[in-house]
Structure 1
Amino acid sequence: MNNRLKKFREALSKMDLDAAIISGRANTFYLSGFTGDTSFMLVGMDKVWLIVDFRFTIQAKEEAAKGIEIVEYKESFAQTINELLSQNKIEKVGVEGDKLTLTEYENFKEKLTKAKVLKNIGNILERIRMVKEEDEIERLQQAVLIGDRIFDHIIKFIKPGMKEYEIAAEMEYQMKKLGAKGPSFDTIVAGGPRSAMCHGTASDYAIKKGDALVLDFGVIYRNYCSDMTRTIFIGEPNDQLKKIYNIVRETQQTALDSLKSGMSGFDADKIARDIISEAGYGRNFGHSLGHGVGIEIHEEPRLSMKSKDILANGMVFSVEPGIYVEGLGGVRIEDMVVLVDNRPRNLTTSTKDMIII
């Protein structure tokens, strides 16, 4: 935690701030190790306070990193923070503008009377979190391995006639059985025409012969997420679905082979988008190529048409091209990679050969 706090304090200093109030749950965990909710952190240049209510006091004492002072608020979070500002002569304070509700922000403006400056720090912490430490990469790898094991299990479990939610339930049962906290997002199981829905969460649709079946899922393992997608077929697919599958697989492999440190997220996305467009399906690839994965399922960097992010060693992100044809179905293939020595190392090991059940 000390290295993370050091980087954050350096960023605050450049903004001419004395401290910052952290309200985002992911950022609180990143800086403190505390996994509960209903909390605020006050990060000063020399001290750090974790402010919680009675329900989380014991948990905070057990989880928070050494050197962090646990404060149980009495009247309100804002009043407690204001007292800490006064006691420690802190006047210029940053806040996470996009993590506060309007009510919380207005409450801070009213009650933090000791703060002469209240400034939005934007996504400073999200930018720091882009580059993972070794321990983070290890947790992410373990989360991905659980996903690989679930995929290996589920392709043996699936049978024609099953409903999507039956498949999703089995996948989520296996997550906890294999040591994960649970899913990192709503498990996507989308069959037949529903597979053309990019985020087709499981329904009562019964899969049948000829269907494409998109399985997009992830787990939370020791507070870190995984994300993978495979598309399989229930019986022999038609020629168009086979063609689409091969295009997506080739696109993903070419994108993976092209990744390197120093490349922009825009350029990475363009490589994949150009291949799919040249194949005649450009309008059927409507989402970005990928996104960072870590404590949260969607993090920076972004690999998209609008991205200005520059890829660097230690970044972990998804690579997930897809083609979706309304009325027919869709295909998406997704791996998670980490950049090491300027090149990608694929964390996902599940086969991408066409699977027909």
Structure 2
Amino acid sequence: MKIKRVNNVLEIMKERGLSQLLINDIYSIYYLTGVYIDSGERFFSLLLKTNGEHKLFVNRLFLLQANCLVDKVIYSDTDSIMNIVSKYLDSNTPLGVDKELPAKFLLPLIHGGAAKEYKIGSLCIDQVRGIKDKEEQDKMRIVSKINDSAMERLKNIIIPGISEKEAANKLLDIYYELGADEYSFEPLIAFGENAAEPHHSVDNTILKDGDCILFDIGCKKNMYCADMTRTFFYKQVSEEHQKIYDCVKQANEKAIHQIKPGIRFKDIDQVARTYIEDAGYGDKFTHRLGHFIGIEVHEYGDVSESNSDIIQEGMIFSIEPGIYIQGDVGVRIEDLVMVTKDGCELLNYYSKVLEVII
């Protein structure tokens, strides 16, 4: 068990009036125990109780993988697992349940009267995961450095006649060569007008002179995720496309410059959004400014105009403004930042100066 992390969760549970919390999110269980098990359809859960009587419910199939210092409750496929779980719950107090808990497990608890009431308790751990400790910060630096190197190598494989799929197919080998474990998400590679779709699916589009080249890529190392976007141009860049690129770059840098503890997330979003609006492209910036990242590439929390939460030291999130002109071009520049005592540390060092690939 990661004792400090668990204690931080227990403190928030007490603040929220919860004495018991059932965690089913496999990444949250890993975060608290160091055990990662993808149990598929089988029940796998960590029960936290403020009295210290924590339990890890695990199917016998995964027993050897569940190597951690927490009491285990082992069950078989033929057991009625939710009846077993109920025996460890206090039926006279509320139960915090994970947002990831499937109805097929939750409903038997409700029908069996396993707790006084049921509350979504995920925020108790999401808030703790949102502030990275030193171990996590170091891992995020390492994986982001790998991603920077991968961006350089990926750019260098661009040749006349290459397709999006051909470029994407080379990326996994690049990551392996650099020491990454796997993708953190499937790469988003878009040429020309395809880049105007912020979540374009890679296809057989062939690169043409004058196209933009958008690389949104990420890898995992030691369970932690990288994510970065850069936009290049091929052979030439028009005056209008140069203007769009410069606008996005300035929006990215201005937002990053404002990041420090005590500032609201919505105010950071507003800095970038206002700059793009003033340049005449406001309706072409169609998404939030950023998302949290760590064990998962998208974690709880974001940088958006609806988020009034206060930025705190240790948080790590993306800053990724974009401008998307349908049928023409898409430009996005994304960096990961880690909040420090009096500002932020940029985790991506790959240049943001416009590059035209010849």
Q: Which residue pairs with 1:51 in the alignment?
A: 57
Question: 1:177-199, CA deviations, whole angstroms, 9 ceiling, x for partnerless residues?
Answer: 32222111121001111010101
Q: Which residue pairs with 1:4 in the alignment?
A: 5
Task: Give yes or no for the alignment of 1:148 onto 2:148.
Answer: yes
- Going from structure 1 to structure 2, the CA distance change for 1:80 and 1:177 (only over 3 Å counts) comes to farther
Amino acid at match of 1:182: E
The answer to whether the 8 A contact 2:24-2:98 is kept is: no
- Going from structure 1 to structure 2, the CA distance change for 1:122 and 1:40 (only over 3 Å counts) comes to closer
Provide the secondary structure at the position in 1 that maps to 2:216. strand
Whole-Å separation in 1 of the counterparts to 2:80 and 2:313 = 42
Q: What TM-score, normalized to structure 2?
A: 0.93
| Farther off after superposition, 15-24 or 314-323 | 15-24
Whole-Å separation in 2 of the counterparts to 1:9 and 1:260 = 27
Residue identity over aligned pairs, in percent, reads: 30
Q: Which residue pairs with 1:284 in the alignment?
A: 284
Whole-Å separation in 1 of the counterparts to 2:98 and 2:301 = 20
Whole-Å separation in 2 of the counterparts to 1:277 and 1:16 = 44
Task: Give yes or no for the alignment of 1:249 onto 2:254.
Answer: no
Amino acid at match of 1:70: K
Question: 1:223-276, CA deviations, whole angstroms, 9 ceiling, x for partnerless residues?
Answer: 111110000111102221111111111111111112111111100000000100
Question: 1:83-125, CA deviations, whole angstroms, 9 ceiling, x for partnerless residues?
Answer: 333xxx67425333521223322122134x4433433224221
Whole-Å separation in 1 of the counterparts to 2:349 and 2:219 = 16
- Going from structure 1 to structure 2, the CA distance change for 1:174 and 1:94 (only over 3 Å counts) comes to farther
Whole-Å separation in 1 of the counterparts to 2:353 and 2:163 = 24
Whole-Å separation in 1 of the counterparts to 2:135 and 2:197 = 35
Question: 1:137-162, CA deviations, whole angstroms, 9 ceiling, x for partnerless residues?
Answer: 11111110110110111111111211
Amino acid at match of 2:56: L
- What is the CA-CA distance between 1:215 and the residue it aligns to? 0.3
Whole-Å separation in 2 of the counterparts to 1:334 and 1:352 = 9
Q: Which residue pairs with 1:35 in the alignment?
A: 36
- What is the CA-CA distance between 1:50 and the residue it aligns to? 1.4
- Superposition pairs of residues 234-273 of structure 1, within 5 angstroms: 234-273=234-273
Whole-Å separation in 2 of the counterparts to 1:301 and 1:56 = 31
Task: Give yes or no for the alignment of 1:79 onto 2:94.
Answer: no
CA RMSD in angstroms comes to 1.6
- Superposition pairs of residues 1-357 of structure 1, within 5 angstroms: 1-38=2-39, 39-45=44-50, 46-61=52-67, 64=68, 66=69, 68-74=70-76, 75-85=79-89, 91-111=92-112, 113-357=113-357
Provide the secondary structure at the position in 2 that maps to 1:123. helix
- Going from structure 1 to structure 2, the CA distance change for 1:233 and 1:24 (only over 3 Å counts) comes to same
Question: 1:14-38, CA deviations, whole angstroms, 9 ceiling, x for partnerless residues?
Answer: 3333211101112111111111122
| Farther off after superposition, 268-277 or 4-13 | 4-13
Whole-Å separation in 2 of the counterparts to 1:130 and 1:35 = 19
Is there any run of 5+ residues in structure 2 with no aligned partner, and where?
none
- What is the CA-CA distance between 1:201 and the residue it aligns to? 2.6
The answer to whether the 8 A contact 1:302-1:309 is kept is: no
- Going from structure 1 to structure 2, the CA distance change for 1:116 and 1:94 (only over 3 Å counts) comes to closer
Amino acid at match of 1:102: A
Whole-Å separation in 1 of the counterparts to 2:178 and 2:21 = 38
Provide the secondary structure at the position in 1 that maps to 2:72. strand
- What is the CA-CA distance between 1:165 and the residue it aligns to? 1.2
Large movers: runs of 4+ above 3 Å: none
The answer to whether the 8 A contact 1:21-1:93 is kept is: no
| Farther off after superposition, 168-177 or 226-235 | 168-177
Provide the secondary structure at the position in 1 that maps to 2:88. helix
- What is the CA-CA distance between 1:80 and the residue it aligns to? 2.3
How many pairs align?
349
| Farther off after superposition, 203-212 or 10-19 | 10-19
Q: What TM-score, normalized to structure 1?
A: 0.93
Amino acid at match of 1:60: A
